[in-house]
Amino acid sequence: MKPQPIQRLVVACLLLLWGEASNAADEGASGTRPTRAPEVDEIDPFLSTPAAGALYEIRVMIINYIPTTDGTNVDKTILGKSTIADFKKKLLLFNKRAKFMLEEGSRYHGYQHSKARPSLGYRVVHSVTAYEIMPPGKRAGGKDKPEFFPDYIQILNRFKAGDWVTNHNVKEIWLWGYHTAGIVPVESNMSSPTTGDISNSYRDNKDLPIYDRTFVLYNYNSMRSQNEAVHDHGHQLEAILSHVNHRQDRNTELFWDKFCGRQANGKFQQGRCGNTHCPPNAKGDYDYQNMSLVGSDCENWTPDRSGKLKEVNAKTWGDISYAWPEGTEPSGKIESHYYIYWMQNMPGYQNNIRFGYDAMNNWWEFTADWDRAIHNDLGLHK
């Protein structure tokens, strides 16, 4: 969504003020004291309770940035017209849906086996909201008007993320911001003392603090939905799994060619399991609602393609029934269901997939504990 001229003007002025302020970290990104101080939020029970039976727990810290000029309504020049209370209700719903999708997606072939055990269980342990614009950091481009990535180091230092990562074992930080005039979010951003930055977006080992263990920051866009949030996780999965593949086999053929589907020329190949942008029957990026039937081995995936083929299309994943939080299916349901379906086809707990003389590992172990997996020299296959 492109910012309107008034948005560009307002945010440019705010950015200017921020740059001139000597005490921005204490007084807010604009350099003036916010009309509402940051607040620690009460955590909804659903968010604080990992999926039943999960093999691994992922602890999460949430940081929300909600600009306001009066302390009651969001700044409509940046986020549109809404009260803060309603806006936070929206973010709560998005968080619930994203958590559900990530947990459900880690259940190997969960669409076939109702008792499939989830590999991941998410627990939100801390949530804070800042009622101000995001502090700009490194220049991100922009010819007529400057654009900046958020200053992630300032944000994390301000809200003591290091303590939550080091002393409370937080592995993911969900940062709800925006992509309007002047601010360009990074979809997924890893900080790791073990491997360095293995993330999808703009790998830079200096744009996040480095603590004693790995964490990933996901910069969600509050103007979108749970789909774009989980989309970010999909790209992070692609980044870490292809890295592990190359580390083990000196190539990425197992993940990109055999699992996702990729031709020798690097273009997407129909008929395997798909990727974050392309379902198995896709004719191009973001083709989640394609009704064309294509034979795919995604539900019986093996690297050598010995599994039974099945004709799949958007109904294959779109018609699956899920127990969505609050009993309400989301808008954009077909896209949401595709992400879950794609993740459920990844080798997970007790997958029993062979790769020549080897067996496939549980790929969710790399999300669960990157440092342990790397230190133990874990690969995609044994």
Give tens-digit pLDDT for 21-37. 334 444 555 456 788 99
Question: What are the tokens at 25?
Answer: 């970290």
Residues 217 and 281 in one domain: no
> Is residue 345 a part of any domain in this protein?
yes
Instruction: Please tell me whether residues 201 and 121 are part of one structural domain.
Output: yes
Taking the C-alpha atoms of 94, 97, 102 and 106 in order, what is their torsion angle to the nearest 10 degrees?
A: 180
Q: CA–CA separation, 79 vs 299, rounded Å?
A: 41
Give 348's contacts (C-beta < 8 A, 6+ positions apart): 106, 107, 108, 109, 116, 119, 362, 363, 364
Among residues 183, 198, 224, which one ends one of the domains? 224
- Residue 5 makes CB contacts below 8 A (sequence gap 6+) with none
How does pLDDT run across 99-126, given as a tens digit for each residue? 999 999 999 999 999 999 999 999 999 9
State the average pLDDT over residues 177-187: 92
Do both 12 and 154 map to the same domain?
yes
**What is the pLDDT at residue 378?**
98
pLDDT in tens, 75-87: 999 999 999 999 9
Domain boundary among 224, 249, 284: 224
SS3 at position 93: helix
In a domain, 220, yes or no: yes
User: Which residues are 122's β-sheet partners?
Assistant: 58
Note whether residue 231 is domain-resident: no
62 close to 217: Cβ distance less than 8 angstroms: no
Are 242 and 255 in contact by the 8 Å Cβ rule? The answer is yes
Same domain as 273, residue 187:
no
Closest CA to 101 of 232, 201, 260, 222: 232
Asked if the structure places residue 382 within a domain, the reply is: no
Is 381 within the bounds of a domain?
no
What average pLDDT score do residues 61-75 get?
A: 97
287 shares its domain with 204:
no
CA–CA dist 279, 51 (Å, integer): 26
Residue 14: pLDDT band with limits 50, 70, 90? very low
Mark whether 217 and 269 lie in a shared domain. Answer: no
All residues at 6 or more sequence positions from 67 whose CB lies less than 8 Å from its CB, including other chains: 74, 75, 78, 79, 131, 132, 133
Closest CA to 98 of 240, 234, 287: 234
Per DSSP, the residues of 125-184 read EEEEEE-SPPPEEEEEE-SSS-EEEE-HHHHHHHTTHHHHHHHH-EEEEEEEE--STTB-
Tell me whether residue 103 is in a domain.
yes
* Last residue of one domain, picked from the residues 183, 199, 224: 224
The phi and psi torsions of 354 (rounded to 5 degrees) equal -95, 150
Specify whether 23 is located in the same domain as 100: yes
Q: Give mean pLDDT, residues 211-227.
A: 97
Element (H, E) at 10: helix 5-20
Q: How confident is the model at residue 8 (pLDDT cuts 50, 70, 90)?
A: very low
pLDDT of residue 29: 53
Do residues 295 and 219 share a domain?
no
Is there a single domain that holds both residue 213 and residue 245? Answer: no
Q: What domain count does the chain have? A: 2
Parent domain of 310: 237-375
Q: Is residue 230 part of a domain?
A: no
Reported as a pLDDT band with limits 50, 70 and 90, residue 13 is very low
The pLDDT of residue 281: 98
User: Residues 196-210: what's their mean pLDDT?
Assistant: 94
- In this structure, which amino acid lies at residue 205? N
**pLDDT at residue 32, rounded to an integer:** 60
Same domain flag for 220 and 246:
no
Both 56 and 203 in one domain: the answer is: yes
Let me know whether 337 and 219 are in one domain. no
Could you identify the residue written with the tokens 């998410």?
Answer: 122
Q: Let me know if residue 229 belongs to a domain.
A: no
Q: Name the percent of the chain lying above pLDDT 90.
A: 88
